[in-house]
């Protein structure tokens, strides 16, 4: 049996393989031989490989693949340049930002403001099973609730559509009494989402304040900043009450930053004043 290599990646300068290492062992070993020989060898049939660059995408750890045997290790060594693409954190705001990007490409009814709740449920699910929920699973969860709304004939996602998450493996912890348990979790998620929204809003304001403050040089305005940071500390105290445990460290960090900046602005104000000139004036008056 002969192949048609002219229609394969061998005839292209560049090739990108999606989930390459999910291929059967027979395929991977044949690929290793082809890469080593720089040509397809199929009995009497030969075809020179014209590919200059091959990119392999995978969710598997290359080291785990190499442990399968010498031939697999040799194949992995054919990809000397590696780039790990992963999230630095898997918090509610990370999933929420992800949904804002993928919602437009996921067909179905509009999510109708339910994204923060879904993002919080996914973040908590990862913590409960001690393994972060991958973006792929998060996208599947979004597809699931959208599909539920679509089957109901609705143009928007509603709370009842979240019940369909019980069919997503990573949400099996929801429990047997799915509706009551899910309703409780959604109430908790809604409260956390609202708290997260307030927290992010104040974090953004504080970040903008710091940007402006760091450019300030006027002694008078530096002195005024002490009052601004103190006043913002009062706003934090008033708006961020009864936060869930997971959000309290961020509130604490904001409070500490305001206290530190209030003191810092006072110190910089004093340093900006021409102290030697004042001393000379005192000497003139005394004499």
Q: Total domain count for the chain?
A: 3
Buried b vs exposed e over 51-79: b needs ≥16 C-beta within 10 Å?
Answer: beebebeeeeebeebbeeeeebeebbeee
User: DSSP class of residue 276?
Assistant: H
Query: Last residue of a domain, which of 117, 140, 174?
Result: 174
Domain presence at residue 180 = no
Looking at residue 275, what is its pLDDT?
53
Instruction: State whether 72 and 121 are in the same domain.
Output: no
Looking at residue 185, what is its pLDDT?
67
Query: Last residue of a domain, which of 49, 76, 103?
Result: 76
Instruction: State whether 169 and 108 are in the same domain.
Output: yes
Residue showing tokens 């200059």: 52
Looking at residue 259, what is its pLDDT?
92
Domain presence at residue 142 = yes
Domain presence at residue 260 = yes
Let me know if 85 is exposed, middle or buried by CB neighbors in 10 A (0-12, 13-18, 19+). Answer: exposed
Domain presence at residue 35 = yes
CA dist list (Å): 258 to 1, 222, 231: 74, 14, 9
Query: Last residue of a domain, which of 76, 108, 126?
Result: 76
Instruction: State whether 170 and 112 are in the same domain.
Output: yes
Nearest of 102, 87, 172 to residue 132 by alpha carbon: 87
Instruction: State whether 97 and 170 are in the same domain.
Output: yes
pLDDT (tens, 9 = 90+) of the chain, 287 residues, equals 778 888 889 999 999 998 888 888 888 888 888 888 899 888 888 889 998 999 988 887 888 878 888 888 888 888 888 888 888 899 888 998 999 888 888 888 888 778 888 888 888 888 877 888 888 889 999 999 999 999 989 888 888 888 888 777 777 665 555 566 667 766 777 787 788 888 889 999 999 999 998 888 888 888 889 899 999 999 988 888 877 777 888 889 989 999 999 988 888 888 777 555 545 545 555 55
Q: CA-to-CA distance for 3 and 9, rounded, in angstroms?
A: 12
Looking at residue 281, what is its pLDDT?
47
Domain presence at residue 85 = no
Domain presence at residue 111 = yes
Domain presence at residue 286 = no
Query: pTM higher than 0.95, yes or no?
Result: no
- State which residues form the domain around 18: 5-76
Domain presence at residue 135 = yes
Instruction: Work out the number of other CB atoms within 10 angstroms of the CB of residue 222.
Output: 21
């Amino acid at each position: 049996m002969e192949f048609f290599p002219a229609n394969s990646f061998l005839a292209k300068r560049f090739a990108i393989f999606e989930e390459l290492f999910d291929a059967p062992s027979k395929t991977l070993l044949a690929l290793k031989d082809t890469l080593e020989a720089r040509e397809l060898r199929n009995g009497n049939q030969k075809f020179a490989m014209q590919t200059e660059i091959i990119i392999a995408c995978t969710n598997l750890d290359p080291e785990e693949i190499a442990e399968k045997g010498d031939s697999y290790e040799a194949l992995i060594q054919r990809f000397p340049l590696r780039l790990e693409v992963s999230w630095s954190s898997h918090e509610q705001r990370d999933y929420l930002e992800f949904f804002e990007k993928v919602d437009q490409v996921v067909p179905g009814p509009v999510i109708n403001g339910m994204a923060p709740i879904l993002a919080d449920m996914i973040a908590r699910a990862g913590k409960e099973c001690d393994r972060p929920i991958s973006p792929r699973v998060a996208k599947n969860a979004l597809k699931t609730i959208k599909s539920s709304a679509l089957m109901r004939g609705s143009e928007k996602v509603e709370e009842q559509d979240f019940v369909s998450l019980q069919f997503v493996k990573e949400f099996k912890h929801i429990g047997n009494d799915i509706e009551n348990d899910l309703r409780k979790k959604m109430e908790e998620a809604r409260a956390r989402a609202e708290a997260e929204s307030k927290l992010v809003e104040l974090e953004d304001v504080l970040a903008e304040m710091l940007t402006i403050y760091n450019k300030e040089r006027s002694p008078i305005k530096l002195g005024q900043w002490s009052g601004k940071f103190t006043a913002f500390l009062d706003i934090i105290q008033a708006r961020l009450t009864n936060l869930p445990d997971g959000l309290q460290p961020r509130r604490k960090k904001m409070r500490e930053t305001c206290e530190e900046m209030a003191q810092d602005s006072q110190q910089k104000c004093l340093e900006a004043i021409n102290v030697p000139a004042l001393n000379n004036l005192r000497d003139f008056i005394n004499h």
